[in-house]
Structure 1
Amino acid sequence: MATETAPTLPPRSVPPPPRRGPIRWVVATSLGVGLAAALVLVLVVVAGAREHVITGSALLGFALGWAVLAVLSIRLTTRPQRWAFVPAAGMAATGLGLLVLAPGDAGLTAAGWVWPAVLLALAVWMGVRIRRDLAAGCGRGLLALVVAVMAVAAVVGMAETVAVAGHRSSASPGQSHDVGGYRLHLDCTGSGSPTVVLQGGLGSMSSSWARIAPAVSRTTRVCAYDRAGQGWSDDSPHAPDGLQAAADLHTLLDRAGEHGPYVLVGHSTGGSYAMTYAARHPRQVAGVVLLDSADPYQVTTASGSADLNAPAELALLPSLARLGIGQLVPASVWSSLPEPAAGQVAALTTSPRGWRNVRNESAAMPALFGQAQALITLGSTPLVVLTAAGHDGNPRWSAAQERMAALSTNSSHRHADATHNALLDEERGAQASGRAIDDVIRAVRTGTPVEPT
């Protein structure tokens, strides 16, 4: 009997084993690309730009990183992370929206009620996808860390929005007056003449004078105010240079019913604002006190023009403040003032709006210094220049202080045993500042020379 032979089937081709790329290196590379792109954009390409440009550019940089993760994981590994297209698209759309719409502080603050919730939801969703699509040791830990940072930023960012809303709506110690379409805050106490007007420096506000104003108010009237964009004052559509600040202050005092001539007191860059006011309104100046005033002679008058950009590191601060960085630092770190002033200074000067004011005034600083140089002489107007400790070995600073003291034939140049900030914040420094103010008040009232020390 014949035996049937089973037909022989042709051998089937065996597919090659799937490629197993180094997913953990793809994850690390992608995150590095996103961070590097964001830093290059905000520190080089748009360095010093306004808040919406900085934030929008940073989001575009991070979006690139997530897109790279999705693309490389699909092409080079067996663990495609297609979900990364979602944060890439969301961040790119938000970044482009900021660049195109160019929202101001009000728009960015209003968005603070929305973006933290969206970011938190995105972080939770991404965390679930990462846990599902990546095994331990494949870059999951690094991605989980990034997602955790996003979640924390969302929570603290919402806390920042709530805090800003609370402090902005809280009752201010003084009154606000319209100076031409926007309102400035002025806090006046005491009675008598001459009225003392206090002008703070960069990142300062009316509450920064909490140790000095009450002491001065025991002998005469004293007014502390917030420049446009500071404290409880509105933003201004004008450039924040010395001429605009002088015009604002002149209108504010008039609208508030205060009467000159005034004793102008300026701390740090506030000294340059006081000098500019004195140059513009010499008949309204009875005396001047410069508390470790900034050096206005560091720029030539020709170069003293306003700029649209600020130093890159300062331009980053408003965007970082939106993430609630200030909420993580105790008020005592920002100020040594007594409460409630310490809390007010910490809340309002470290808010996104406060840092934006620092950024804007820094950009206008060359113009301010050039405008302050218009003050060539004060004649025999009483003047005290108080130089803080800590400038040893800086002959330029000392020369500038001497040059400012020489603006009047009736002046006194003194040296305080206190640092620059301590002239306002700390009790001993505030006492030295108060004595300088009292001596100018006495010289104005009596028509006698200023005490030499």
Structure 2
Amino acid sequence: MPAATSTAEAAGPTAERAPHTGPIRWIVVGSLLTGLLLAAVLSLVVFAGAPEHVITGSALLGFAAGWALLAVLSAWMTSQPQRWAWVPTAGLAATGLGLLVVAPGDGGLTAAGWVWPPALLTMAVWIGVRIRRALAAGSGRWLLYPVVVVIAASAVGGAVETVGLASDDPGRAMPGEVYDVGSYRLHLNCTGSGGPTVVLFNGLGLTSANWARVVPGVARSARVCAYDRAGQGWSEDAPQPRDGNQAAADLHALLQRAGEEGPYVLVGHSIGGDHAMIYAARYPEQVAGMVLLDATDPYRVGGGPPSAMAVLPSLARLGVGRLPPTSYWSTLPEPAAGQVRMFNANPRGWRNVRDEIATLPALLTQARDLTTLGDMPLVVLTAAGAEDDPARLAGQERMAALSTNSSHRPADAGHGALLDEERGAASSVQAVQDVVQAVRAGTPLL
């Protein structure tokens, strides 16, 4: 009997601990991975390219499913039921469904930023306490604590982003004016004097502030206008993303409202070059010359459903865009660098990038409507690196062939450096000045 008792006593503690260390670790791992996988599938596949509220709402539903799985399986398969997991399940599911049903716009999502970060931080602290109380040591706590840290960091980042958006005041630093072109207003900033007036077209993800190194050089000898398409910079949002033809009509109305008379020299950087080509095709009588600064090749297929890019506005709500310094966003002098960061680091800036990628196939197709510029002065400036890409170089040469009075020039600067850096901007300014002079003199380009 003593031996049997001794054996039972020795086995007792092991028998009591076994349920605690049984499948609970695998349940924790499986629940976390399931929630992460569902959030990724819903936001990147099922609702790929959807508006911000759909992406965020669907991701929250995926995470809620993971917490629900932890609550159900831990109660069913172990002696350590994690009933507290129903609280984050309910909170995330209710918020996700609310976003999908209410469908708030940018203003509503920004206003909600004053509410959800403190609520999420409170939930993170509460979850941390419940994990310590409900999950035995050695049963997988260490798997859940990093999740708590991520939740808390998201809450802090969301608060920082909300405060940052409130402190950003684009109107205070806005050069130029905004003009009504229908149901929204567009920004236009013109400076300098002397014809023909130069009109600058922004590239993907850029704003009128990105031309800060180019505008002064051009304005010394001609009037120059930088503007923001709908959804960019200081311009208001359009009800729906605009394709190239619609953006050209917007610009035409904007220049008329502002009293800026043509014909114009159109200067486009990156996809701004394609926008310039579309404007020339639609309003040929309003165009006197053109400069394409490493323009996107319209003869190649590009763009499409922005599945991954559509997640970026939601991530920006967590303040990730404010982590890098201003120099990451731009090497322009102040205040332009700060303006570029202000516009590019926030959810609206990334939403504009998403929308322009989505409309890129239509944009390139519409740019091909421009089949000739006749003998109009045209400079095609190609960024460094094209010599290693025959297809890219062929596209640049094909654009230069649009005019019998053209000059195709290689630049000793990268794509972004044509605007951002002094040497690249100087090459861009020279190209514009050459076209302006050729228009004025009625002579061929040198």
Quickly name the TM-score band, shorter chain normalised.
over 0.9
The Cα offsets for residues 374-393 of structure 1, whole Å up to 9 and x where unpaired, read as 11111111100000012233
The Cα offsets for residues 316-363 of structure 1, whole Å up to 9 and x where unpaired, read as 111111111101111111211111111111121221001000000110
Aligned to 2:9: none
CA distance, structure 1, for counterparts of residue 190 and residue 153 of structure 2: 41
What pairs with 1:197-208 in structure 2 (closer than 5 Å)?
197-208=199-210
Aligned to 2:311: 316
Aligned to 2:88: 87
CA distance, structure 2, for counterparts of residue 71 and residue 170 of structure 1: 52
Aligned to 1:68: 69
- What is the root-mean-square deviation of aligned Cα atoms in Å? 1.7
What pairs with 1:176-215 in structure 2 (closer than 5 Å)?
176-215=178-217
Aligned to 1:148: 149
CA distance, structure 1, for counterparts of residue 391 and residue 203 of structure 2: 20
The Cα offsets for residues 417-449 of structure 1, whole Å up to 9 and x where unpaired, read as 111111011111101111000100110111111
Which SS does the other structure have where 1:359 is aligned? helix
2:251 matches 1:228: no
CA distance, structure 1, for counterparts of residue 40 and residue 240 of structure 2: 30
- Residue 110 of structure 1 deviates from its aligned partner by 1.7
Which SS does the other structure have where 1:312 is aligned? coil
Which SS does the other structure have where 2:332 is aligned? coil
Match of 1:416 among 411, 415, 437: 411
Which SS does the other structure have where 1:240 is aligned? coil
Aligned to 2:8: none
Q: Any conservation in 2 of the 1:197–1:264 contact (CA below 8 Å)?
A: yes
The Cα offsets for residues 147-185 of structure 1, whole Å up to 9 and x where unpaired, read as 111111111112112222332454212211111011111
Q: Which amino acid aligns with 1:71?
A: V
CA distance, structure 2, for counterparts of residue 169 and residue 413 of structure 1: 37
Q: Any conservation in 2 of the 1:51–1:319 contact (CA below 8 Å)?
A: yes
2:359 matches 1:358: no
Which SS does the other structure have where 1:89 is aligned? helix
Q: Any conservation in 1 of the 2:190–2:226 contact (CA below 8 Å)?
A: yes
What pairs with 1:287-298 in structure 2 (closer than 5 Å)?
287-298=289-300
What pairs with 1:117-266 in structure 2 (closer than 5 Å)?
117-171=118-172, 172-266=174-268
Match of 1:394 among 368, 389, 392: 389
Which stretch shows the higher mean deviation, 439-448 or 340-349? 340-349
Q: Any conservation in 1 of the 2:278–2:366 contact (CA below 8 Å)?
A: yes
CA distance, structure 2, for counterparts of residue 164 and residue 55 of structure 1: 19
What pairs with 1:276-315 in structure 2 (closer than 5 Å)?
276-299=278-301, 310-315=305-310
CA distance, structure 1, for counterparts of residue 439 and residue 164 of structure 2: 43
CA distance, structure 2, for counterparts of residue 423 and residue 169 of structure 1: 25
Identity %: 67
- Residue 409 of structure 1 deviates from its aligned partner by 1.1
Aligned to 1:11: none
Q: Any conservation in 2 of the 1:199–1:224 contact (CA below 8 Å)?
A: yes
Q: TM-score, normalised by structure 2?
A: 0.93
Match of 1:437 among 399, 410, 432: 432
Q: Any conservation in 1 of the 2:171–2:234 contact (CA below 8 Å)?
A: no
Aligned to 2:108: 107
Match of 1:381 among 363, 376, 382: 376
What pairs with 1:34-73 in structure 2 (closer than 5 Å)?
34-73=35-74
Q: TM-score, normalised by structure 1?
A: 0.92
Q: Which amino acid aligns with 1:105?
A: D
- Residue 220 of structure 1 deviates from its aligned partner by 1.1
Which SS does the other structure have where 1:450 is aligned? coil
Flag structure 1 segments of 5+ consecutive residues without an equivalent: 1-13
Q: Which amino acid aligns with 2:398?
A: R
Q: Which amino acid aligns with 2:267?
A: V
Which SS does the other structure have where 1:296 is aligned? coil
CA distance, structure 2, for counterparts of residue 177 and residue 170 of structure 1: 14
CA distance, structure 2, for counterparts of residue 168 and residue 237 of structure 1: 23
CA distance, structure 1, for counterparts of residue 137 and residue 421 of structure 2: 53
Q: 1:375 to 1:350 in 2, by over 3 A?
A: same
CA distance, structure 1, for counterparts of residue 400 and residue 262 of structure 2: 23
- Please identify which structure carries the higher helix content: 2
Q: Any conservation in 2 of the 1:385–1:412 contact (CA below 8 Å)?
A: yes
Which SS does the other structure have where 1:184 is aligned? strand
Aligned to 1:346: 341
Aligned length: 430
CA distance, structure 2, for counterparts of residue 61 and residue 437 of structure 1: 52
Which SS does the other structure have where 1:377 is aligned? coil
Which stretch shows the higher mean deviation, 322-331 or 40-49? 40-49
Which SS does the other structure have where 2:290 is aligned? strand
Q: Any conservation in 2 of the 1:310–1:360 contact (CA below 8 Å)?
A: no
CA distance, structure 2, for counterparts of residue 260 and residue 378 of structure 1: 16
CA distance, structure 1, for counterparts of residue 155 and residue 108 of structure 2: 18
Aligned to 1:10: none
Aligned to 1:450: 445
